[in-house]
Amino acid sequence: MTSPLDHKALAELLARPHLKRLLDVLNGRGEETRVVGGAVRNALLSRPVSDLDLATTASPDETMRRVEKAGFKAVPTGVEHGTVTVIVDGEPFEVTTLREDVETDGRYAVVCFGRDFRADAFRRDFTINALSVGIDGRLYDYTDGEADLAARRVRFIGDAHARIREDFLRILRFFRFHAEYANGEPDREGLLAASTERAGLERLSRERVRNELLKLLCARRALETVAVFAEYGFLTLLLGSAVELGRFTRIAEASPRIPSTGRLAALAVMVEDDAERLRERLRLSNEEQASLVIYGQLLARLKNAAEVIDAAAMRRLAADYPVESLELVFAATRGEPRPILHDEAAELLAKYAQGEVGVPVFPLRGADLIAHNVPKGPKIGELLALARQGWLDQGCPSDEASAKALLQRLLASV
């Protein structure tokens, strides 16, 4: 079954003033430049087009000469691979000279510059990414990408095994693009090739794997695609452990706005130690790992809570953990035997998240004790920790009277 494509959007794309000016500069006098890849694909699908990539017969030097003569800024961001970033009145465009692969090793390619748009199209990964459109609005399709796009199907160009062996990251891209652009089951030939060649994933840098995997977890059809990804053993290979598809499903259904690290936590963090393993496996940033640690700590605390989480317990939790982490764990564990969330606690959490009620904040600081002649030193930290525990036990009162009473009790104990 096919769906109509928006060819009018291509004309609208070419009418963008900055793009039109750049194409006018780069075309003619023996050179041709086209809009390629994702911009063409997304326009035909009536999706937003943000990043605009251009392919040109002109060499990088000729590209820079032309655009600088026109008054545009040229930045040689990847000039060794033929890519120049051109800034037109603040809007960036990546302009890449047509290329042909000389040698590939599954991670990187040695390329030479060419002038053949057809050859350049056949070195790309998927048919839907090989479309290009000329300055006159003509759509060029050398790989039946338009038919695949209309059918919402992601297929490798030519032999799937060969495409994957050129760059094993294409395995992950196959699943991500299927999740984002396709309907139904993954292409059988592509799935078989990806499964057969999956050992090559271990040759990739962990940073490249991380970037693709996190994008996959947030894709349009992540639920169905991640289930297939797990079924064929890719998640175990990449993450080094079993996964929790049930929790991943619940948080993905709860809100499309949950970020990739939250989805990763629900999928792969069962205990706090998992956060360190994932940091190593995926080269996570310190901030990303910290969010996984919080998720693991909170999950353990809630799974071991025998009592019902009532409003008072929710106030204590909100004083200890970010509201986003609380929402995530409760969404991930919804329907499980523990934790048991009382309706009033769920309502309070929603109010915290919406900003209708302020999150409890411990009212005392070290300066409060110093102002009452308590000497600086480790003793202040010990007293504040003791006072904070009492404050939590009282349900985190936030009124001024309670804060004064808390301070007086603390001073009396010195």
Instruction: Extract the tokens encoding 87.
Output: 């800034």
Is the whole model's pTM more than 0.85, yes or no? yes
Q: Do 295 and 327 touch, CB atoms closer than 8 A?
A: no
For range 277-289, the mean pLDDT = 96
Q: Is the separation of the CB atoms in 106 and 167 below 8 Å?
A: yes
Nearest Cα to Cα of residue 260 among 230, 284, 281, 235: 284
CA distances in angstroms from 377 to 144, 316, 367, 380, 410, listed in the order given: 73, 27, 12, 6, 16
Q: How confident is the model at residue 370 (pLDDT cuts 50, 70, 90)?
A: confident
Query: What confidence category does residue 215 fall into, taking pLDDT thresholds of 50, 70 and 90?
Result: very high
Share of the chain above pLDDT 70, in %: 97
Average pLDDT over residues 331-356: 95
Q: What is the pLDDT of residue 257?
A: 85
Question: In which band, very low, low, confident or very high, does the pLDDT at 102 lie, cut at 50, 70 and 90?
Answer: low
Measured CA to CA, the distance from residue 4 to residue 56 in angstroms comes to 29
Report the distance separating Cα 54 and Cα 31, nearest Å.
13
State the pLDDT at residue 307: 87
Please tell me the predicted confidence (pLDDT) of residue 46: 95
Lowest mean pLDDT among 185-199, 244-258, 260-274: 244-258
Give phi and psi for 241, each to the nearest 5: -165, 175
Report CA 72 to chain centroid distance, whole Å. 32
Q: Which residues pair with 54 in a beta bridge?
A: 35, 95
Q: What is the CATH number of domain 155-233?
A: 1.10.3090.10
Domain ranges in the chain? Answer: 1-151, 155-233, 240-360, 366-412
Q: State yes or no: pLDDT of 110 exceeds 70.
A: no
Asked whether the bond before 339 is cis by omega within 30 degrees of 0, the reply is yes
CATH topology of domain 1-151: Beta Polymerase; domain 2 (3.30.460)
Q: Is the CA virtual torsion 190, 195, 199, 203 positive or negative?
A: positive
The torsion region of residue 30 among left (phi > 0), alpha (psi -120 to 50) and beta comes to left
399: Cβ–Cβ under 8 A, 6 or more apart, which residues? Answer: none
Residues facing 230 on adjacent strands: none
Residues 9, 128: Cα–Cα separation, whole Å? 16
